[in-house]
Structure formats: structure tokens, C-alpha cells
Structure 1
Amino acid sequence: MSEKTAVVVVGGGYAGVMAANRLTQRDDVTVTLVNPRPAFVHRIRLHQVVSGSDDPVVDYREILADGVRLVVDIATRIDAAGRSVRLASGDAVGYDYLIYAVGSGSADPQVPGASEFAYPIATLEEAQRLRPVLDTAYATAAVTVVGAGMLGIEAAAELAEVGRTVTLVCGGVLGPYLHPRVRRSVARRLAKLGVTVLEGPGTKVTAVTGDAVRLGDGRELPSAVTIWTAGFGVPDLAARSGLGTDALGRLLTDETLTSVDDVRIIAAGDSAAPSDLPLRMSCQSAGPLGAHAADTVLARIAGEQPALINVGFFGLCVSLGSRAATVQLASRDDTANGFSLGGRLGAKIKHSSYTGLVKHLADEGRKPGSYTWAFKDGKRQRSVRAKHGQAPAAAERAV
């Protein structure tokens, strides 16, 4: 009997779980998922942790295929030459193929005082650290949310809905991804909730103290609690392991999601930079990229040529408190347009995404290979050709 192929998936978020479950299609493959937490974090619900309205933790037994071995540990280094992953515990896990799905987290704010006095909320632990701070603050205490992307908007709306006095500092425009018409609609909803929105070039934060936020235009805002949502970063595991990354630290890959340095390492999710043209960091792309990464590994095991990625977008869902949301529609190349769905219908769609994402993962665990994605971007390969000046042939290196 031939030896089984060992595949290690580093990271147990949307992309990592999808990839791990999909790999169990073959009986001759062993799958190990390495993750620092013993439970799955439904990350798009972190803003609800901040307000105390919901819990984003899901038991891995509900979504992970029976054939996947879960190792609760932190990956500290990838030894590509030795084909192993070094762990914080001192152990190592060997692999024939590795799927790099470490996700993303808070970016280093690089603003004086922000690391000391502001609270990031891009991970479960960060959101949990903020919760008791809000609980002990006076009900009328000024809360400042820095950063007006989706997480900042959602956190501001959630807190205002429960009676907090919230100022949302954009550092530019509200919801940069949003179409201007949709942006105005979101602004009206925030105003109705009582959120003060500060937009414009002068609203870039220049310093944070224990009780204030300073802006580029010279204003100083009183702030008993400052929440930092501006920007995302990725773990530096790939860079520390000597693998090629983009400027943000995402693993550089070809269009099959295979590392440009090692054919046995495949990336997925927020930590992947295919052709140095990464997709938007989102759960919307994480599922398809996780599935595609698994398909690339399975193709290589079968001696077949992996397919090129083809992932499109429908838009963006932004929750605006518990009773409303805006669904910004977009073309499949992720260009926002002037169409949106809002109010209670938008909230219904947003809430269905909470259950739908977990259901997709669980379904793939029960029936690996069943997951498909409806949205595809027919323009991506033209973008790749334009960037690199040639056809985006997948670089097939000898295994």
C-alpha cells in the first residue's frame, strides 16, 4: 500500500477550514490543521463582541470534517527545505504540501500613542480586551472609532445603537469602497443612530492619548475610549521563513495560488498575493480561495495541471446596527456601483450571511468537493497580463 500524502493547513479561518475540509476528498491524503485557538472565530461578527450583542466563537466540531486533525499551536517558522512547520510548543509537523492560510489582523498604527492608548478589534482577543473597558466606562463617555472601513462603520453603529456617544473619524472619506450614492445613504443611517462622522483630509489621526485623539487639522477630540480599525496587516510567518512576500507581507504566488518560491506551498485567503495582485481581504474571497488552494494541491497529487483562480465579487455587506444594513452591489471585478439594498432587507441579507458562511464550511466538511462559487471575474487575467506584460501562465515547477 502506498504512503499517504500529508497536507498541513496553517490557519483555521474561513480559507483554512474550507481548504482542510475539501482536501478530505481523497482517502490517501492526511490533513492537519494548525491553529492557535481551539475554536473557530466567525470574524465578521467581531463588531458584535464590542457591543456585547453576540458571540463569534464556533466549535470546530460543527464545521471541520472528521478526517481533519486539529493541532492547537502557533506556527513559528516554515522549513521549506525540510518540509516541516515549527511550532511554538517546540514540536514540528511534517508535510508533503502546505496551505498557507494565516489570515490577517490589525495593522501597526504607526501613530504616536495609538499602540498604548487605542484598542484594535481585528481579532477575537483584541475585541474581548476592549469589552470590559467599555463596561467600566460611563454610559455618556466619549467613544472614538478611528477608521471608516467596514469594521469601523459596523463598530460605530453597533455602539451607538446601545446608547454610546460615538464619533467616527474617517481619516479621509466614509467607506472608501462605497459608491458616493451608497456612501450618502450609510451616512444618513449613522446620523440617525447618533454617530458623529468626521470626514476629509484633515481628519487623519496624528496622535492618541489616554483621553483624547488629535487630528491633522489641529482639532483635539475628547475620547475616553479610542477604538482603532484603520487598516489590516498579515502575520510575518512567510517573511520569517524566507519566502517571497509583497509589501504588506502576503505570500507571493502565481495564479494557481502556488508560492513563487516553492511548488509545495500554496496560499489562500487574506495572506495570499497571487501575481502580486491580491484580491480584497474579505470572507467573500476567503472561501473560494481556500477551495481553490485545496484543488491546486489535489491536482498536483493527481499529476494534473492546476487551474488558474477565477474569483469575483457581488459587493459588500455593511451592518448598521442590529436592525439595518447596506448591501453595496458591485461588478464582478469588485468595482462598486450605485446600486444597493438597505434597511431591514439589507439587515436580513447581512444576517443570512452570518449563518450562510458557517453553513458553507460545515457542508464542505460533510461532503468535500461540493462547494462552488457563483461569482467569477472574467477580467482578472487581462489585469494580470497588463501588470506583467505577458500571459499569466502558471509556473509549473518540478516537484
Structure 2
Amino acid sequence: MKVVVVGAGYAGTFAANRVAKKVKGAEVTVVNARPEFVERIRLHQQVAGTATVATPLTGMLRPGIAVRIGSVEKIGDGTVVLDDGESLAFDHLFLAVGSTVRALPGTVPVGTWEGARQARAELAALPGGSTVTVVGGGATGVETATEVAEARPDLRVRIVAPAVADCLSGGARRRALAALDRLRVETVDDGVTEAADGMVRLRSGRELDSDLTLWGIVAGVPDLAARSGLEVDADGRAVVDAYLRSVTDPRIFAVGDCAGVAGARFGCQTAAPQAQAAVDALARLAEGREPEPYDLRYVARCVSLGRKDAVAQFTHPDDSLKDSHLKGFTAVAFKRMVFTGTRYITRKAVSA
């Protein structure tokens, strides 16, 4: 059985390792645009220069898994067409291209590896007293703003969003806002419409000076599924059945951010469980058994607030927020466990 995995983030790397582990006789090939595995949930550390978050992909994959560096132009009828014109045949394919960033011109996107590297270099070159603007009030924006503010206290840091830290609620959100205030991050409740020539223009019409503007919003998915003729939802995610198979082509499983699962949000809590469910479904089918449907479940939302603080708000399985949360050292330890645990699970392909 020839299995191709397109994308080597959390979902793709986990899927490749689990196929090699659980599907007897499978020949696994991973296609990825770069030779590194990037810990996307730690990109804010890459930006601030507090860590390097890329590992050679070969060190994350089980022996025997082939790696092809390149981009996929199209998937169709059992064939993957690469950007260099070559093609790979498959019996089954895992589409794991993740999510993407649509940054405003004049900003640097921190939600991609390339953007994070650029942001790190530009940030390091800024003299003291410069102003850094982070656009986006979700986890990516808050983590970036606090990490930069803690690492570079000589800079003026602001975060701009219609609602900052609105991925949290109650005491957890108040904790995040207090951390921003403690780190002297200016909070601007507005949106950004333009970024150019050392300034940002807000929806209200105000203009603010900005020596470096970082785009901290992750939204949308690559158009590979749509480009390949697979049915997609309104957000461009591949429409799947209960077993995470494309409703257009059951040979194709979609996992992670690019899978059209109702109620799913972008993140590693989506990636590994979906990859596990999809691979286990394939393994059961290969053995002539009935697969089990994927069951969407969440546990918590964790947000780093610099290296010394964090908040983790627990959720119901449907991702609705509970009142209970962790803070301070306990939350930092919990977040660190998420980092290390996710990496371990992805590499070992153990139950997520």
C-alpha cells in the first residue's frame, strides 16, 4: 500500500509516523515544502529570539519513511502532482496542509515559519526606543506581544485588535490582560486597515507610529483541496465524512486545520487526535474491519504570557469555556507540558 502524506506539521508528521507504525506493509512518503518540522505553537519564541523551534524533519519521522521536499500542485485520481512536474502515485493520501496567514501588506506574519524568521531578524535589528505593533488579539497575538515585550523591554510594544484575549473569558481573560499591562504592552481596541511608511492606520481613522508591524492572525487554509476538485466548505476546508475521508474521494483523508470538521478550531489539539483517528480508520479498513468515527473533543486553551507567566482555561469537550483556569507558575508548567507532550506524541505517534 502506497501512502502519501502532504504536509509535515503536527497532523502530517503524526499521521506519517502512525501509518508506518500501524498499517502493515505501508510505503509512506511525506511531501513538505521545507526539510524541517516546525513547532508552530512556539513560533512566538522564534520571533522574540528566545528559542529556535525547527528540527530536521528526518529526526521526527520513523525510519523507512521517505521525504520529498517540494510543493504539491494538485491531487487527483490517485496521483500527486508536484511543483517540479513529477508525480507520486498513492493508494491513500493524508491531506495535512494546515492553516495559513493572509497578512496585510506592510506587516510581517508571525504565524508562519518564514514570517517568524523574518520577524526575528527585523526585531533584532531594531534600536531601543522603537515601536512594535502586534495586530491580532487571539492567542497568537497575545503570545507574540508578551514574548517580545519580555525579551526586549527597551522597545515600546502595543497590541491592536477589536477585542484582545477574547479567546479566553472571565478570570482567565483578566489574567491575560493584566499580564499585558504588567509588561507595559499598550492595548488598542481597534482594527488595522493599512500598514506602511512607519505607521498603521486604524479603522477609526487614527494613525499610529510603528517601526515594525507583526501580523498575529492565523486565518484560512491553503487552496490545495479546492484546486484539486475536492468538495470544500465555506472556509475552504475539505469536507469529510465521519471517518475524516474526503466526501469526493474516500482514498483521501483530511486532518488538522484543513479538515472541514464542524466545531474544530486551528491548533495542535485538533491535529494529533484527528490524525490518530484517520490513521486508525485506515488501519481497520486495511484489516477488513469497520472503522470508528472521529469524536471531536477539547480540553483547554493555553496562552503563554512571556516565559514566566501563562494562563490555561479549561474547556468542555465542545470547546466552550469553563470558569476554571490555571495561572502563574502552574500554568507555565502546564504550557511547557503541552509543548513537550505534543512534540513527543507527534514523533512517537502514541494515542493523543
Output the CA distance in 2 between the equivalents of 1:228 and 1:180: 26
User: What is the aligned partner in structure 1 of residue 277 from structure 2?
Assistant: 292
- Partner of 1:311, secondary structure, is coil
TM-superposed deviation, 1:243: 0.9
Check whether the contact 2:345–2:351 (CA below 8 A) recurs between aligned residues.
Answer: no
After superposition, residues 26-41 of structure 1 pair within 5 angstroms as 26-41=23-38
TM-superposed deviation, 1:204: 1.6
**Which of 90, 101, 107 is equivalent to 2:96?**
101
Output the CA distance in 2 between the equivalents of 1:278 and 1:317: 18
Unaligned runs of 5+ in 1: 365-370, 374-399
Q: Does 1:58 align with 2:51?
A: no
Output the CA distance in 1 between the equivalents of 2:214 and 2:124: 14
Check whether the contact 1:177–1:336 (CA below 8 A) recurs between aligned residues.
Answer: no
User: What is the aligned partner in structure 1 of residue 70 from structure 2?
Assistant: 73
After superposition, residues 212-223 of structure 1 pair within 5 angstroms as 212-223=199-210
TM-superposed deviation, 1:52: 0.6
User: What is the aligned partner in structure 2 of residue 368 from structure 1?
Assistant: none
Q: Deviations over 1:126-150 (max 9, x none)?
A: 1111222112222211111000111
Unaligned runs of 5+ in 2: none
One-letter code aligned to 2:146: A
Output the CA distance in 2 between the equivalents of 1:131 and 1:363: 30
After superposition, residues 254-273 of structure 1 pair within 5 angstroms as 254-273=241-260
Output the CA distance in 2 between the equivalents of 1:34 and 1:184: 42
Q: Does 1:308 align with 2:271?
A: no
Q: Does 1:194 align with 2:192?
A: no
Between the aligned residues of both structures, percent identity stands at 37
After superposition, residues 213-292 of structure 1 pair within 5 angstroms as 213-274=200-261, 277-292=262-277
One-letter code aligned to 1:246: D
TM-superposed deviation, 1:278: 4.7
TM-superposed deviation, 1:293: 1.4
Output the CA distance in 1 between the equivalents of 2:142 and 2:167: 12
User: What is the aligned partner in structure 1 of residue 19 from structure 2?
Assistant: 23
- Partner of 1:352, secondary structure, is helix
Check whether the contact 2:111–2:218 (CA below 8 A) recurs between aligned residues.
Answer: no
Output the CA distance in 1 between the equivalents of 2:299 and 2:116: 28
- Partner of 1:226, secondary structure, is strand
User: What is the aligned partner in structure 1 of residue 315 from structure 2?
Assistant: 330
- Partner of 2:37, secondary structure, is strand
User: What is the aligned partner in structure 2 of residue 173 from structure 1?
Assistant: 163
Check whether the contact 1:152–1:168 (CA below 8 A) recurs between aligned residues.
Answer: yes
User: What is the aligned partner in structure 2 of residue 342 from structure 1?
Assistant: 327
Q: Deviations over 1:72-103 (max 9, x none)?
A: 11111102x2x110111221110001111111
Output the CA distance in 2 between the equivalents of 1:89 and 1:131: 31
Q: Does 1:127 align with 2:124?
A: no
TM-superposed deviation, 1:160: 0.6
Output the CA distance in 2 between the equivalents of 1:12 and 1:193: 35
Which range moved further: 226-235 or 281-290?
226-235
Q: Deviations over 1:332-380 (max 9, x none)?
A: 110112211111111111122221111112222xxxxxx224xxxxxxx
Output the CA distance in 2 between the equivalents of 1:175 and 1:257: 31
TM-score by length of structure 2 reads 0.96
One-letter code aligned to 2:198: D
TM-superposed deviation, 1:67: 2.6
Q: Aligned-residue CA RMSD in angstroms? A: 1.3
Q: Deviations over 1:6-40 (max 9, x none)?
A: 11111111111111111122332111111111111
Q: Does 1:11 align with 2:7?
A: yes
Output the CA distance in 2 between the equivalents of 1:246 and 1:31: 28
Output the CA distance in 1 between the equivalents of 2:215 and 2:108: 5
Check whether the contact 2:13–2:347 (CA below 8 A) recurs between aligned residues.
Answer: no
TM-superposed deviation, 1:300: 2.4
TM-score by length of structure 1 reads 0.85
Q: Does 1:151 align with 2:140?
A: yes
Check whether the contact 2:263–2:318 (CA below 8 A) recurs between aligned residues.
Answer: no
**Which of 28, 44, 47 is equivalent to 2:44?**
47
One-letter code aligned to 1:342: K
Q: Deviations over 1:166-208 (max 9, x none)?
A: 11001x2112221132111110011001101122xxx121222
- Partner of 1:357, secondary structure, is helix
One-letter code aligned to 1:357: T
Output the CA distance in 2 between the equivalents of 1:61 and 1:238: 26
Output the CA distance in 1 between the equivalents of 2:34 and 2:164: 33
One-letter code aligned to 2:11: A
One-letter code aligned to 1:372: S
- Tell me which stretches of 4 or more aligned residues in structure 1 moved more than 4 Å: none
TM-superposed deviation, 1:63: 2.3
- Partner of 1:105, secondary structure, is coil
**Which of 81, 86, 89 is equivalent to 1:91?**
86
Check whether the contact 2:37–2:54 (CA below 8 A) recurs between aligned residues.
Answer: yes
Output the CA distance in 2 between the equivalents of 1:43 and 1:132: 18
TM-superposed deviation, 1:53: 0.6
Q: Deviations over 1:274-298 (max 9, x none)?
A: 3xx1511110110011111111222
